[in-house]
Structure 1
Amino acid sequence: MATRSLPIDDVNRPARIAGAAATRLEYRLDVLGADVDDVVRCAGGWMFDRAMAGWRVNAWLLDAGDLRPLQILGVQGRVLRPGGEGTGEAIPVGLAVSADLVASAGCLRDEVRTALVSGRTEVVLWGGRWPDQLGGRAEPVRYRLSAAARIFKRHALSAADCPHTAADDTELLLCGGYRPVDSDLIASGG
């Protein structure tokens, strides 16, 4: 990789270096779900651990009521408007979607298919089977939550009025398309 030296007296040097580093090194996980409860229950620990690892995690929700549970997990909550404009951002490195949402919203299914075809996005579904409309195949994977993720997920579930839902040690998901070599999702074989 070619490098370029900046003059020592360049007053904007720190800002340029910080801006360049943020552009190159930022990983983003976008999560699409119906509501806060579903997202926290099915992928809350995974989102927390990714956020703590430095990922920018956004949860796009059809019903974005009380966002406190997402804030507890370090996740930015946003309103999802099917049929409207997308996020306006580049394709994320990770995309997690409720299987029910993909099955019921054709425009979201098209966006998920685009991410799959890009070959640059790890696409994960929860809460159902892999829709035939997406094509390809998926494998069951599990994510083992860190001790901190279990604690924060428990607090997020409580804030989401799901205090009796257990924060299990693992979250079960389906993964299709691109799988990075260093993925934290482990094939569950069944």
Structure 2
Amino acid sequence: NIPENSNGPFPQKIAQVRIHDKSKKVSYSISGPGADQDPLNIFTVDKDTGDLYVTQRLDREKQHSYSMLVKAVAEDGLATEDPIQIVINVIDMNDNKPAFTEDVFAGEVVESSPIGTVKVTATDLDEPGSDNSIIRYSIESQEPQESNSSMFTINPVTGVISVGALGLDSEVRLF
């Protein structure tokens, strides 16, 4: 597991692969996306030590995991063991701000309307279901500002905007 947006320094050692029989001299290699396939050279392995390195910052929103095969080949050219699969998970950091799904949300409320609702929604590119993707809604301001109460309220979890007080009167003011 590697957190996204790490500032390095790069290359940064993230793991070491070793064969069970340490008496043999082997050469290590990796293959798969992030190594010898697109995107190329994000991960490298020291052919002599089996040290696995990441060479640059990772972005979970571009790719959330990498699966590669590590091979160990003895000096005689024969594989010493079966290749092993390594999965590198990119851990989400809170690096995206929520964005509304529409530029303008339009709702209509009739005069003398009872308390009712209009819903606004936003999305967040951080990992779904994580603390980093929790969205909370609030009303920043209302015009006109009521001295006693707000004419409209918003549910901070769902984004539902409701008429918060009775008394909508188009002859007195337009909202």
Which TM-score band applies after superposition, normalised by the shorter structure?
A: under 0.3
Question: Normalised by the size of structure 2, how large is the TM-score?
Answer: 0.21
More helix by share: 1
Q: Which has the higher strand share?
A: 2
Of structures 1 and 2, the one scoring higher in RCO (CA 8 A, sep 6+) is: 1
